[in-house]
Structure 1
């Protein structure tokens, strides 16, 4: 029996290593803002904060940036992977847009106060400048008191930003003293109040007083218009009646006999010579005058 030699088995080469597909990091891209920005609110000047706040929140919502007002993300560690760093960079960019869109909604004065750069070009005399501005500030009657109170608060903020602290009682007393001339009576009323008020309480009182003054002015105008529309009582009848009496008195016929011509129902023109002895020349003159009157 012949022996069959074994067939040599060729080893199967190992499969090539499978390289995993590159992992694309999920990057939080900044939302694309609308070109029109139609919902952008007006710049905040210090009044009606709640209204401006709601409008700004809606504006940021339309830009998909409202969540960055409250959202906080931790800074990735130095050895973090690329995906985590990219996500953090994208979040930082969106947070930057949200922050600056909000600041851009402030007017120039409030924006400068926030940045702390107001009057920084004159570092040497900035304290003297803000103190002088505080002392020279006076309210006028041509502007609303509440708007001028906000200007006064900005000056106080500048003073305290320079490290000069002012007590609240001093702020209240200074604000009362700087009220406009037409508020003299209300100023004296506030001065004689024994109970101390805070600055916010004083501002609320001023706002109420100003609203009441506006309402009184509006009511006064309405009363004036009502008076001008009143119809005067009709007195023409009495006047006409009185005129008729006078006219009738003038046209009333004289009952009697003229001593010049002897006719009845005829009043002589010259009454001064009645019952009086006159000369023949005067008698003739009166007779002629009477005849002329009769001819008329």
Structure 2
């Protein structure tokens, strides 16, 4: 027990409890300020990714909130809700916008329930094969047989018969 002897040697010269308390307070208050900054840094740097489930990341977020509370810092519930919405992963952009436009104030528990339901729906759609990503391009088609339409070079070769896919009778 070398550390107990070392601690005894450091603190035994203290003549009274007040001197001992002040010495311990000086030592541990600096560590306390550092841990607050560390926890705030963890909160600010936290971002959700698409490679993990949202609910597991929500649990990580809740642990960070717990650490902040344990450090004596207070974050209002509406701030926590807004921060969690903002930290949703990129593929949740539409759901994130939907949540941002809700007029009624939401509790953190209610938000987590909604996130769990949305994640379950996304997983069941993926399993059923109905899950689709946002469209990345638009397709525009031009018909050849529209009145006044300019014939398309590849499919419409001028003349009514060619335009409608009918031979010219020379076959």
TM range (shorter): 0.5 to 0.7
Aligned equivalents of 1:121 and 1:200: distance in 2?
A: 35
Q: Which residue of 1 aligns with 2:40?
A: 131
Q: Which residue of 2 aligns with 1:147?
A: 56
SS at match of 2:43: helix
Q: Which residue of 2 aligns with 1:191?
A: 100
Structure 1 ranges of 4+ moved more than 2 A? 120-124
- Deviation at residue 121 of structure 1 after TM alignment: 10
Q: TM-score, normalised by structure 2?
A: 0.57
Deviations 1:115-134 (A, max 9, x none): xxxxx994340000000000
Aligned equivalents of 1:121 and 1:208: distance in 2?
A: 44
Residues 191-210 of structure 1 mapped to structure 2, 5 A cutoff: 191-210=100-119
Which has the larger Rg?
A: 1
Deviations 1:43-87 (A, max 9, x none): xxxxxxxxxxxxxxxxxxxxxxxxxxxxxxxxxxxxxxxxxxxxx
SS at match of 2:92: helix
Q: TM-score, normalised by structure 1?
A: 0.33
Aligned equivalents of 1:200 and 1:130: distance in 2?
A: 22
Residues 106-185 of structure 1 mapped to structure 2, 5 A cutoff: 122-185=31-94
Comparing both chains, which one has the higher relative contact order based on Cα–Cα distances under 8 Å and sequence gaps of 6 or more? 2
Residues 12-161 of structure 1 mapped to structure 2, 5 A cutoff: 122-161=31-70
Structure 1: gaps spanning 5 or more residues: 1-119, 222-296
Aligned equivalents of 1:132 and 1:174: distance in 2?
A: 14
Indicate the structure with greater helix content: 2
Aligned equivalents of 2:39 and 2:121: distance in 1?
A: 33
Give the CA RMSD over aligned residues.
Answer: 2.0
Aligned equivalents of 1:124 and 1:151: distance in 2?
A: 22
SS at match of 1:194: coil
Aligned equivalents of 1:123 and 1:164: distance in 2?
A: 12
